Chains A and B, each alone.
Chain A
Amino acid sequence: KNEVEQSPQNLTAQEGEFITINCSYSVGISALHWLQQHPGGGIVSLFMLSSGKKKHGRLIATINIQEKHSSLHITASHPRDSAVYICAVYNNNDMRFGAGTRLTVKP
């Protein structure tokens, strides 16, 4: 079993829909990152969380430390949100990555 599990693996949505991507992990962590990888391959950090909730524009990330679970929400999704979203957890000196969720938003 992977230490970091993301769901779904693939997600197709219509423009304007509300999107939720989930990340569950099995190890104790000091921080969790949500990353976005564009079709061209570049990686951008969206959020770093250690507790609670963060919001940036149409993106919202939450984390529940007790349940070892984080969610990334996208409101009013747009085709430019199409990308792979990767959850990464940081524990002591190690970082583990989820396999990623491939999101396609259709106009």
Chain B
Amino acid sequence: DAGVIQSPRHEVTEMGQEVTLRCKPISGHNSLFWYRQTMMRGLELLIYFNNNVPIDDSGMPEDRFSAKMPNASFSTLKIQPSEPRDSAVYFCASSLSRVTGELFFGEGSRLTVL
């Protein structure tokens, strides 16, 4: 298996633009997590899905952020409109089990909003 695949690896955009980050989890994993990492706040859980259903999005910073998982092999994290404070590395991870499963991380998407 190729592991968790994220795209793009790097994105530079201007404030106000829409950003879409993509994630393909490991086949057979039923839990998918989106995280954000910044120097100031470290790693934070934004949202996770179990069997394609969003379980908890309380970590999503505000209404500008939205995430979808239309099927078991694809998820998106969208920021609209983007702001400079959204600059961070966004990680996607998947696991077999929401609570007790080992987490497998993608390589991350580094977002810079100018």
Contacts and interface: CB of A to CB of B under 8 A. Distances in A.
Interface of A: 30-31, 33, 35, 41-45, 48, 50, 86, 88, 90, 93-100
B8 interface: no
A43 B45 contact: no
A44 B43 contact: no
Interface in B53-96: 55-56, 58-59, 89, 91, 93
B103 interface: yes
Contacts of A50: 100
B56 A45 contact: no
A42 B56 CA distance: 25
B99 A31 contact: yes
Interface string B15-33: 0000000000000000001
Interface size class of B (residues with CB under 8 A): 20 to 34
Contacts of B100: 30-31, 48, 50
Contacts of A48: 100-103
B43 A97 contact: yes
28 contacts: A31-B99, A33-B103, A35-B103, A35-B105, A41-B89, A42-B107, A43-B93, A43-B105, A43-B108, A44-B105, A45-B102, A45-B103, A45-B104, A48-B102, A50-B100, A86-B42, A88-B43, A93-B56, A93-B58, A94-B45, A94-B56, A94-B59, A95-B45, A96-B45, A97-B42, A97-B44, A97-B45, A99-B42
Given A41-B107, A42-B107, A86-B43, A94 B99 contact: no
B19 to A, nearest CB: 19
Nearest to B105: A43
A45 B42 CA distance: 16
